[in-house]
Structure 1
Amino acid sequence: MEVAGTTITGNESWTPTSYVFVSGRSITIPDMYVCDHEVTRGEFKELMGTDPSTASAYDKDGNKLTGDAVLNNPVNYVNWYAAIAYCNKLSLKENLTPCYSVSGITDWENLAYSSIPTSSNSTWNALTYDKEADGYRLPTEAEWEWLARGGENYTYAGSNTVDDVAWYTTNTKDTGSREVKTKQANGYGLYDMSGNVYEWCYDWYDTVSSSTADTGASSGSYRVRRGGSWYNGGSDCQVSYRRYYYPYSRYSFYGFRVVRSAN
């Protein structure tokens, strides 16, 4: 779906307090096409040829799923590198220009999932991002928070009550992921921005200041992940809560969603 962008001047006040939209930081959020759900196991498998997920899958009523019934749950156990590869492959499939370039990779369409690094890789870490490309990409951290807030002033993405919008440790009992789009959407019609699986963002992680670029820090050791998960507490599901980890790391509660610029 399309979500209108905005210009954030750095003079606004935010409820809850933002650690990304800070005083003096001017950011332009573009109009975006946004997937209303986290990339599912089925979507990932169709494009990448495999479903790497390790989390058990359940429906909204807590019934364990097996076989093809798991494919509507969010893909998990994917690292940041795999999310980047998925974005480029999906762009090419839809005849769009990929946003990301990695030195030495010239044929993203035929890149095997097994070729994606699972340990720190300096070449992938040094990828370049073409902001003018029309292909799919990960949201920047600022874009992610803008989308999660949904034009509202709620603590979580769509409500002040975490159970309305999020699958998290209390209502999953740490058992596994839940089907996408089974909780309430936020004001932009986006589901699971709070909970289910953490979502990778583009940015390197660092403390955000007025001089931080709209795409985040220029370098670092960790990439940003946002939104909480089925394995984390309610505080992690807050729209303002920041987390990070190594881009090569894979866990059963790490996933992602895709966006692309609309202008």
Structure 2
Amino acid sequence: MLRNRRRLKEIQCLMLALVMGWVFQACEEEKVTVTLKTFHVEQVTATSGSIRCTVVNEGGSLQEAGLCFSATNTAPKITNSRFIPSVGSLTDFTTTLIGLSADSTYRFRCYARVNDSVYYGTVYAFKPTTPLVDLVSVEGGSFNMGATPEQATSAATNEFPVHAVTLSNYRIGKYEVTTSQFAQFLNSRMITSTASGPGFDGSVYKYMVVTTRNLYYDQDKSLWLPVSGLENHPVTNVTWYGANEYCRWAGGHLPTEAQWEYAARGGRSAAGTLYSGGSVAADVAWYYATTKDQPGVVYFAQPVGGKQPNELGLYDMSGNVWEWCADWYTAYTDLAKRDPLGINDVEAAEAGVTQKVRRGGGWADTQTGTLRVSHRAANTKASQAGSVGFRLAANE
């Protein structure tokens, strides 16, 4: 009898465990996780802007996704604002808003309908505007990249081996991006006094470090302004993230390292000079020897366009400020390349590569070797300095 009771107890415990397991499994199956990521506006004009969204759905039925936006509601929803369902993909899509007013502020975020419930991403805001950029068309062609004969005497090992590169047509900034232009970007994206905002992957990054030599945030006006007298100076203390986001906002991209060097050499009109535009550093570049005695801000970057341009009409490709490039910093190979982009982010992480390329030399350099068109240097993406800026590039 005792044995039977024990057996019955074991059966009851087993049945309870099975029931509880089924209940737990059912709860697990009913769990829904929806992750929405709203990226900040890019390709801005006075009447439009493009916004990318991604949706990751786990455990539910994704029925609809899109972008909601409003010029009046601070927290736009599909119930109180205009919304545009995505076309094609429900998980990764870009929506272009058109017919906007430059006098308005638009708040936006992505949404997703899962199992008849609506989920929302982070709210961002922007003001439509026309980016103040001056681009020069560069006719594509082939060139030898690296320590070519006129560079070889001063070249470092990272400029070898020389290798053939062929590029398609593109455009590049006539000047380095100025403090006024960068202020326009920050104000259009409504970046706060932290000078931080979302990057290319949706995470938040520091765009720049504010100093007395670039920009300041007027708390009363909620507006970024250039420091008086430096409106036409190249923006400095910009991180790679900030430079990259400016370029995306303006409808372009940071130049690849190959695009930068080809343009610095003068493209199809290259004369084989040591620096961009000539072989006498003082004629084409702001560096220590030409900067230290200038009036105004003592020992600092100078207004853009103050030196002799190169064959393409580009200014300050040598000197004034170092310029960020799109590429991860890796060693050259002798393989010929067409429109090279360098390694991607996944490959960089796997290889332990942590720095992005910067080119051109800057106002603080005491040696002219850094001003040469083939000279290479690099920094981590979050680094910034008073002698580092950038210029815009764009597809033709």
Structure 1: distance between partners of 2:159 and 2:259: 10
Question: What residue in structure 2 maps to residue 43 of structure 1?
Answer: 181
C-alpha displacement of 1:215: 1.5
Question: What residue in structure 1 maps to residue 259 of structure 2?
Answer: 143
Q: Does 1:74 align with 2:234?
A: yes
Q: Does 1:176 align with 2:300?
A: yes
| Counterpart contact for 2:159–2:375, Cα < 8 Å | no
Classify 1:228/1:55 alpha carbon distance in 2 versus 1 (closer, same or farther; 3 Å).
Answer: farther
| Letter paired with 1:215 | L
C-alpha displacement of 1:22: 4.1
Render the CA deviation track for 1:196-229: whole Å, top value 9, x for unaligned: 1000011111110034861124421110000000
Of 234-243 and 193-202, the range deviating more from structure 2: 234-243
Out of 9, 25, 30, which is 2:168 matched to? 30
Corresponding residue SS for 1:199: strand
Q: CA RMSD in A?
A: 2.5
Question: What residue in structure 1 maps to residue 211 of structure 2?
Answer: 54
Classify 1:14/1:185 alpha carbon distance in 2 versus 1 (closer, same or farther; 3 Å).
Answer: same
Question: What residue in structure 1 maps to residue 141 of structure 2?
Answer: 6
Structure 1: distance between partners of 2:372 and 2:212: 22
| Counterpart contact for 1:15–1:154, Cα < 8 Å | yes
Render the CA deviation track for 1:46-93: whole Å, top value 9, x for unaligned: 111378553748xxxxxxxx95431100000001011111011111xx
Q: Map of 1:216-255 to 2, 5 A cutoff?
A: 216-218=342-344, 219=348, 220-233=353-366, 234-255=368-389
| Letter paired with 1:177 | A
TM-score, L = length of structure 2:
0.49
Structure 2: distance between partners of 1:8 and 1:144: 12
Question: What residue in structure 2 maps to residue 61 of structure 1?
Answer: none
Moved beyond 6 Å, runs of 4+: none
Corresponding residue SS for 1:72: coil
Structure 2: distance between partners of 1:30 and 1:231: 34
Structure 1: distance between partners of 2:331 and 2:261: 15
Q: Of the two structures, which has the highest relative contact order with CA contacts closer than 8 Å and spacing of 6 or more?
A: 1
Corresponding residue SS for 1:71: coil
Question: What residue in structure 2 maps to residue 202 of structure 1?
Answer: 326
Corresponding residue SS for 2:377: strand
| Counterpart contact for 2:173–2:393, Cα < 8 Å | yes
Structure 2: distance between partners of 1:13 and 1:221: 27
Question: What residue in structure 2 maps to residue 98 of structure 1?
Answer: none
Of 68-77 and 168-177, the range deviating more from structure 2: 168-177
C-alpha displacement of 1:16: 2.2
| Counterpart contact for 2:234–2:303, Cα < 8 Å | yes
| Counterpart contact for 2:329–2:357, Cα < 8 Å | yes
Structure 1: distance between partners of 2:313 and 2:229: 24
Structure 2: distance between partners of 1:185 and 1:9: 22
Q: Note the residue ranges of structure 2 that are not aligned, 5 or more in a row.
A: 1-135, 188-194, 196-207, 215-225, 293-297
Structure 1: distance between partners of 2:394 and 2:303: 24
| Counterpart contact for 1:52–1:75, Cα < 8 Å | no
C-alpha displacement of 1:175: 1.1
Structure 2: distance between partners of 1:166 and 1:55: 24
Structure 2: distance between partners of 1:84 and 1:52: 15
Structure 2: distance between partners of 1:72 and 1:212: 39
Corresponding residue SS for 2:357: strand
| Counterpart contact for 1:181–1:192, Cα < 8 Å | yes
| Counterpart contact for 2:291–2:300, Cα < 8 Å | yes
Classify 1:149/1:75 alpha carbon distance in 2 versus 1 (closer, same or farther; 3 Å).
Answer: same
C-alpha displacement of 1:156: 0.7
C-alpha displacement of 1:253: 0.7
| Counterpart contact for 1:16–1:153, Cα < 8 Å | no
Number of aligned pairs? 208
More strand by percentage = 2
Structure 1: distance between partners of 2:279 and 2:311: 13
Corresponding residue SS for 1:70: coil
| Letter paired with 2:305 | K
Classify 1:239/1:9 alpha carbon distance in 2 versus 1 (closer, same or farther; 3 Å).
Answer: closer
**Which structure would you say has the larger Rg?**
2
Q: Note the residue ranges of structure 1 that are not aligned, 5 or more in a row.
A: 58-65, 92-135
